[in-house]
Structure 1
Amino acid sequence: MNGIRKYGFTLMLLLGLLLLTRFNQKVGWQAVELTWSSIQNMLFLLLPILVLVGLLDQWVHKERLMKYMGQKGGQKGILICLLLGGIAAGPLYVAFPIALLLLEKGASIRYIVFFLGVWTTAKLPVVIYEWTSFGLTFTLLHIGFGLLFYYWLGILFEKMYSPHQILSKNKA
Structure 2
Amino acid sequence: MKLGTLIFKNTYMNFSEMLGVIPPIFLLLGLFDVWVPRETIIRYMGEKSGITGIFLSILLGSAAAGPLYGAFPVAAIMMKKGAGFSNILIFLGAWSTMKIPQVLFEMSSLGTAFAITRWAVDLVGIIVMAVIIEKLISPEERSEIYRKHIEENI
Task: Label 1:153 to 1:38 Cα distance change in 2 as closer, same or farther (>3 A).
Answer: same
In the alignment, which residue of structure 2 is the partner of 1:121? 97
Aligned-pair RMSD on alpha carbons?
Answer: 1.8
Q: Contact conserved, 1:109 with 1:157, CA < 8 A, in 2? A: no
Q: Which amino acid aligns with 1:162?
A: R
Larger Rg: 1
Residue matched to 1:3: none
SS in 2 for 1:162: helix
Q: 1:153 to 1:131 in 2, by over 3 A?
A: same
The CA distance in 2 between the partners of 1:44 and 1:29, in whole Å, is: 23
In structure 2, what is the Cα distance between the partners aligned to 1:155 and 1:26?
49
SS in 2 for 1:168: helix
Cα distance, 1:163–1:42 mapped onto 2, change above 3 Å? farther
Match status 1:96 vs 2:72: yes
Query: 1:16-165, aligned counterparts within 5 Å?
Result: 25-159=1-135, 160=137, 161-165=141-145
State the alpha-carbon separation in 1 of the partners of residues 112 and 126 from structure 2.
21
Q: TM-score scaled to structure 1, two decimals? A: 0.79
The one-letter amino acid paired with 1:76 is T
Count of residue pairs brought into register by the alignment? 148
Retained in 2: the 8 A contact 1:114–1:151?
A: yes
Q: How many angstroms does 1:115 deviate by?
A: 0.8
Change (3 A) 1:167 1:45: farther
With CA pairs under 8 Å and 6+ residues apart, which has the higher RCO, 1 or 2?
2
SS across alignment from 1:146:
helix
Q: 2:103 & 2:96 partners in 1: Cα distance?
A: 10
